[in-house]
Structure 1
Amino acid sequence: MDSFIIIGTAGHVDHGKTWLVKALTGVDTDRLKEEKERGISIELGFAPLRLPGGIHAGVVDVPGHERFVKNMLAGAGGIDMVLFVVAADEGVMPQTREHLDILELLRVQKGVVALTKVDLVDEEWLLLVEEDVRELLKPTHFRHAPIVPVSSVTGAGLKELLDALAGVAAEVNPKPRTGEARLPIDRVFTITGFGTVLTGTLFSGTLHTGDALEIMPSGLRGRVRSLQVHGQKVEEAGAGQRVAVNLTGVEVGQVKRGDVLVTPGAFPAVRRVAAALHLLERAPHPLKNYQRIRFHLGTKEALGRVRLLDRDELRPGDDAVVQIELEEAVVAAVHDRYVIRQYSPVTTIGGGEIIECGGKRYKRFRPEVLRQLELKLTGSPSARVAGELRAATAHLSLADLSGRTGLGEAEVREILHELQREGDALLFEFGGETLAVPFALYEEWLGKVKEVLSAYHSRYPLRSGFPKEELRSRHFKFLPARLYQALLDRWAAAGEVVVNGQNLVMPGFNPSPTPEQAALIDRLRAELSACPFSPPGPEEILRLLENDGELLQYCLQTGVLVKAGEELYFLRDAVEQAWNILEAHLREHQEMTVATARDLLGTSRRYCLPLLEHFDRLKKTRRIGDKRMLYFQKN
């Protein structure tokens, strides 16, 4: 797949951005009737550009008018470099400064400046404007950006501009095509015969024809029917490309700008983010705690409020770690850049980097909270992963840790193996999925298991153990079944617990009756031995055990008693004796009726029939009509 970069225009209204794009690409990006009539860009425009040296670029032409800065923000979020436009006849203007602020806040670090309309000014004026632009750029990432005088009318400087763009484009690092796909949507429309089409700049991952995708935050699902990159049909589109996605299963009215097309389940929709915030020096006022703002991320604009965690107001030019609480859900990832604008009057006042998506509402003025968030922002990769593990209340997957730290899964895996070697984490592999359990949490869970089992043994000393699935449903329901079993296996191998079939017990535990209970069992044996094939009913058996239901269950678990039918309990010795008598008859006579069995055992049908059905279930006998024969005996 060829390398692509996205070039965004920026600059004041009527400084010639759209004319310049047309001169460079041959494409008029003003596609709306209103834009044609008014001579300004309102919506985003797009055009392909092949740069000298063979680099493929897509140009995003953004509006310059102050009323449409939110549309400019929708286009600026995915750009790799900027074509910054300043008209030579007017010089630096208000939206020149605001667009530059936005580019700085979004950390766009590469760009070229085009001084347009040079055919309208003389040499001396042009030098003054160029000096003014240099002064404007001096404190920014663009201090060394090439400045190229051009005229879209005469064509002067266009070749030099293309060469300058190619030179800077060669320095741009391409977006990663690994990981999950994320495409913030900036346009939605329909094509007759094809259906819904969504466009945007692919932030990460790849898209393929036939992919099942999800639209967030609505959760709607669809499938890719076809893909286009700059009007060319493709089977695959990669990060950094301008993509049009023809999606089936979704109606055009169900999607809007600001939604995000993603790999299903890969990105959360959240209404709270923790972030580093820089308030611009040009901000008109300090930012007060819980002040309402306009939040811009990718192509999304949402209203929200800023919670200052360490102060009551943030002064222009200062930085802080904050939480932003939003009035609607947004799709965000760690390290995303965002911009905030004043609620009214609307102007850009700041922005920064997201360091946590979702999460709890932190209490203000808590040093430990500030340290935790500062670690997420500035800590080393290892420290950030370790910090997430320390704060975890459950296991974490590679995808969880990658999303929380903004690191790639391969890097997270390497860090986890180091943490496991250091004894800080345990890793469990299940068919290509890696789950990490902080060692402190592992020990906490083991302590809980021991506590539950000890209490259970104390309360039910005659039971053979705590059913392991009941333990999971009561105390570890949050654990996947495979991880729960892996933990039990590890604890059992270490001698911490004993797995007894489907039950768990503490090491050394054996169910055993008290001397008083043992005497009751002996009394029961004596009573039932007197009439082995005609035992008393369940009420009488419970009476003999002094109504101790636990003791009755113990007798059944240990085989003292055998339950045959719903209401009959026989001594195990009696059942074995009965089978010896019946088996001897069957081996000699091959078959037997209920009446025959009744007479052989000297009992009644009421007791004999449940015994025979018990032997049927054990596959000692089989019933044929009204007779029985040995199970493996031939007819």
Structure 2
Amino acid sequence: MVATAGHVDHGKSTLVRALTGMEPDRFAEERRRGMTIDLGFAWTDIGARTVAFVDVPGHERFVTTMLAGIGPVPAVLLVVAADEGWMPQSAEHLDALAALGVRDGLLVITRSDLLEPDLALDDARSHLRGTTLEGIPAVAVSARTGAGMDDLRTALGTLVDRLPAPDDAADVRLWVDRAFTVRGAGTVVTGTLQAGRLRVDDDLELAGTDGTRRVSVRGLQSRGEPVGEVGGVSRVAVNLRGVPRETLTRGDVLLTPGAWLTTDTVDVRLDSGDDDLPRELTLHVGSAAVTVHVRPLGADTARLRLRHPLPLRIGDRAVLRDPGRRRVRAGISVLDVRPPDLRRRGSAAARAVVLDTMDGRADPGTELRRRGIVRRAELAAMGVPVDGLGSGPWLVDPDRAVTAARDLAAAVDAHDRADPLDPGLPTEAARRSADLPDTRLLDAVLPYAPGLVHRDGRVVRTAAAGLTPAVVAGLEALREDLAREPFAAPDAARLAELGLGPRELASLVRAGELLRLADGVVLLAGADDRAVATLAGLPTEFTASAARQALGTSRRVAVPLLELLGRTGRTVRTPNGAHRLRASGGSAPP
């Protein structure tokens, strides 16, 4: 997919007609005035490749339409006429493309039969300097004489070849740019499918200003032909069952069911340091244009409150435009689609500090640490890969689990001291004491609370009750040592200081409180499971040195810990001596 952008008189539509043999201007008024008013679409085959074009308006009155057309496409055909050169409206097109992070395309100098193209080319290059499109290839053509058209087709083929391949397995998010009725078929919407696949009879979610509802795909067309399925990047027309045309508008979006979060509050990074940013702007993303309230937080970060929710993910790019002054104010990168409230004094300043550490990349470990506890489906819907983060409907960061386990243990002990004849806490009371949103999370936290078990509807102490007070005191001190650095096994001097000699350590291992790795090398019970969770964040194959660094420990601990994981079948050795985690089914991953 390629968007064609340029000034109203630069001959964009003429160029597209010459390339494709198709008329991108759909309305008689456009052809009469020689001016693109709405989005136009065309396509052509170049060798074995199919190149589709979205022809966007150039006039300043139709910038919103222009942004709806370029939002979902990966590359641009930036058109400048040799006899007119760079025009003021070209600058706003370039600002929008830069704001959206479009980095590839072609600079096309048209009407080269009317004037030498060199001046226009040099002028355009000067405007592109310092932008995301600096250095894109340039071609001079004349649609009237055909000069340069073969070079343009060759350049287009090269452009398509270097664009990244779309992810066929991605969740579908199709921004609607047109909606109309076809007699005998019903309602049809069109858009640019960036990734994923659509199939006839698919069930989808339709999200718009009136909320979200389920719809079904009756039929599909791509490049004017019926198809059973289509993948990105493609222009696609979707015939929807039972959806009245009048309920649809540009900016609605078709989604993979259950895979997206709609949000009306996002924290973003701005790509311009505009200190005088208006408090109300228009957010352009995909084909949508939504009024937003802007609350600056840091030097280049802000919170946006949207007039109505949109399906957004971490890392999404969008444009903030001032419709009153008719100019792009900033490009944004979405940092958080579920940000915390800023109700307390100082919370905005604290949030700005956190946002300064965020880069708009959905890193699984970082996002889980930041949120502490989160539903797996919700984290995935934010755009975060969740494979390797554990199983079950909830995910718990290890540090958050340690804190919850400490609070839970303290609550159990306090209850038992107050009422020794009724030991342990009921499940719901235990959940509240650990500040957990769901009782099912107790089972995720208890591995970090040795000596506690969840059974018969209560969380109770078990093995530690049979230990001497001195050993229990040493164990509690050791738990505190290992709370922040769970793999920093104490040395002999520290164990002696805690009163934990070989016999005491052996009793704690038998009681299930400690995990013995080697003589004098012990960690808290469950450290092996926690190590597997940490090592899942490494590349598929990793060395003992990489494991040591990831675990934050020494070779004295890392080597016997890896040997234990190998003996218990959770890792395997590779032919080159490295290590690899086994898949959950028991076989080594490929």
The alpha carbon displacement at 1:375 in A equals: 2.4
Tell me which residue corresponds to 2:67.
73
1:376 equivalent to 2:358? Answer: yes
Distance 2:227 2:269 in 1: 39
The alpha carbon displacement at 1:466 in A equals: 4.6
Per-residue CA deviations over 1:463-498 (Å, capped at 9, x if unaligned) read: 5765436755997773274x545656x479x43135
Distance 2:374 2:313 in 1: 20
Which moved further from structure 2: 197-206 or 88-97? 197-206
1:472–1:308: structure 2 CA closer, same or farther, 3 Å change rule?
Answer: closer
Distance 1:143 1:295 in 2: 25
The alpha carbon displacement at 1:393 in A equals: 4.3
Contact 1:184 1:299 in 2 (8 A): yes
Distance 1:350 1:498 in 2: 53
Contact 1:226 1:235 in 2 (8 A): yes
Tell me which residue corresponds to 1:261.
254
Which moved further from structure 2: 132-141 or 463-472? 463-472
Q: 1:326 aligns with which of 306, 317, 334?
A: 306
Q: 2:365 aligns with which of 386, 398, 402?
A: 386
Distance 2:146 2:434 in 1: 74
Q: Secondary structure at the match of 2:359?
A: helix
Q: Secondary structure at the match of 1:288?
A: coil
Output aligned runs, 1:452-531, within 5 Å: 452-454=411-413, 456-457=415-416, 462-463=421-422, 466-468=425-427, 478-479=437-438, 481=440, 483-485=441-443, 487=445, 490=447, 494-497=450-453, 499=455, 501-507=456-462
1:302 equivalent to 2:281? Answer: no
Q: 1:29 aligns with which of 24, 31, 46?
A: 24
Distance 1:149 1:219 in 2: 47
The alpha carbon displacement at 1:16 in A equals: 0.9
Tell me which residue corresponds to 1:91.
85
What is the one-letter code of the residue matched to 1:302? V
Contact 2:2 2:54 in 1 (8 A): yes
Identity of aligned residues (%): 35
Per-residue CA deviations over 1:150-209 (Å, capped at 9, x if unaligned) read: 222222222221111112221111222223111111111122222221211123322222
Distance 2:443 2:140 in 1: 70
Which moved further from structure 2: 201-210 or 94-103? 201-210
How many residues in Structure 1 have an aligned counterpart in Structure 2? 461
Q: Secondary structure at the match of 1:386?
A: helix
Distance 1:141 1:347 in 2: 18
Contact 2:173 2:254 in 1 (8 A): yes
Distance 2:418 2:42 in 1: 76
Distance 2:349 2:462 in 1: 44
Pick the structure with greater CA Rg. 1
Distance 2:359 2:337 in 1: 13
TM-score (norm 2): 0.71
What is the one-letter code of the residue matched to 2:397? P
Distance 1:36 1:401 in 2: 48
Output aligned runs, 1:178-197, within 5 Å: 178-197=169-188
In structure 2, the gaps of 5 or more residues are: 466-590
Output aligned runs, 1:63-142, within 5 Å: 63-121=57-115, 123=116, 126-142=117-133
Distance 1:290 1:307 in 2: 9
The alpha carbon displacement at 1:255 in A equals: 2.1
Contact 1:274 1:357 in 2 (8 A): yes
The alpha carbon displacement at 1:306 in A equals: 2.1
1:275 equivalent to 2:268? Answer: yes
1:201 equivalent to 2:174? Answer: no
Tell me which residue corresponds to 1:219.
212
Tell me which residue corresponds to 2:565.
none
Distance 2:3 2:238 in 1: 21
The alpha carbon displacement at 1:99 in A equals: 0.9
In structure 1, the gaps of 5 or more residues are: 1-5, 281-285, 312-319, 417-426, 511-635
The alpha carbon displacement at 1:212 in A equals: 1.3
Distance 1:473 1:367 in 2: 30
Q: Secondary structure at the match of 1:395?
A: strand
TM-score (norm 1): 0.66
1:484–1:94: structure 2 CA closer, same or farther, 3 Å change rule?
Answer: same
Per-residue CA deviations over 1:211-246 (Å, capped at 9, x if unaligned) read: 211112421111112222112222222221111111
Output aligned runs, 1:395-406, within 5 Å: 395-397=374-376, 399-404=377-382, 406=383
Contact 1:308 1:364 in 2 (8 A): no
Q: Secondary structure at the match of 1:307?
A: strand
Distance 1:209 1:475 in 2: 48
Distance 1:361 1:467 in 2: 31
Contact 2:401 2:448 in 1 (8 A): no
Tell me which residue corresponds to 1:335.
315
Tell me which residue corresponds to 2:472.
none
1:170–1:452: structure 2 CA closer, same or farther, 3 Å change rule?
Answer: same
Distance 1:164 1:307 in 2: 43
Contact 1:221 1:250 in 2 (8 A): no
Output aligned runs, 1:355-374, within 5 Å: 355-362=335-342, 368-374=350-356
What is the one-letter code of the residue matched to 1:445? A
What is the one-letter code of the residue matched to 2:317? R
Contact 1:8 1:76 in 2 (8 A): yes
Tell me which residue corresponds to 1:537.
none
Distance 2:427 2:293 in 1: 47
Contact 2:401 2:444 in 1 (8 A): no
1:293 equivalent to 2:249? Answer: no
Distance 2:405 2:301 in 1: 37
Which moved further from structure 2: 165-174 or 446-455? 446-455
Distance 1:90 1:168 in 2: 26
1:213–1:474: structure 2 CA closer, same or farther, 3 Å change rule?
Answer: farther
